[in-house]
Structure 1
């Protein structure tokens, strides 16, 4: 019998695929829970080079980045845009 893998480990494996990662981030945004969205960004960053690498690419202090991407984080829009761009994505709007 194969050992079971955790949901989170399976999610991290899937997030390596950029298209899946975009879908996951969009789903978290649509759910409306800001904390879940920030944690999703953290998960995507983890599998695409890690938070240290993301902080370098985004030009943000690593400790500040950890606080921003916590469940209770409250990043400024400017910082959020930098993070999204550093991950290779861009924000866009569409009609509701």
Structure 2
């Protein structure tokens, strides 16, 4: 019996991508994801949209990203939730209680 050939997918690299240059009169604007993820009004709207659409994963992802940017120690002290509880409730298989979510939302949105 002959050897079975396996097709290997070629790995892509940023080095292989062509470099593009902007036109001379094009102006760019700085983008700060940190600034957007600390904006309480923007976070509140995004979380509300996730609740309305029943998007639990999106809700947890937005909360997780926000908590990565702000101090977890500070939020932990202000909400009365331990850091371990915060990490557990925002993990992929976490299932936070309504009370814990309410404490977090009260701190983040108000």
Residues in 2 aligned to 1:72 and 1:13: alpha-carbon distance in whole angstroms: 28
- Given the alignment of the two structures, is residue 64 of structure 1 paired with residue 85 of structure 2, yes or no? yes
- Given the alignment of the two structures, is residue 84 of structure 1 paired with residue 105 of structure 2, yes or no? yes
1:30 counterpart residue number: 52
Q: TM-score, normalised by structure 2?
A: 0.60
Q: Given that residues 58 and 86 in structure 1 are in contact (C-alpha distance below 8 angstroms), is that contact kept between their aligned partners in structure 2?
A: yes
Q: Given that residues 42 and 51 in structure 1 are in contact (C-alpha distance below 8 angstroms), is that contact kept between their aligned partners in structure 2?
A: no
Which residue among 35, 44, 51 is the counterpart of 2:66? Answer: 44
Q: TM-score, normalised by structure 1?
A: 0.67
Give ranges in structure 1 of 5+ residues lacking alignment: 3-8, 90-96
Residues in 2 aligned to 1:10 and 1:68: alpha-carbon distance in whole angstroms: 27
Q: Given that residues 38 and 69 in structure 1 are in contact (C-alpha distance below 8 angstroms), is that contact kept between their aligned partners in structure 2?
A: yes
Report the RMSD for the aligned CA atoms in angstroms: 2.4
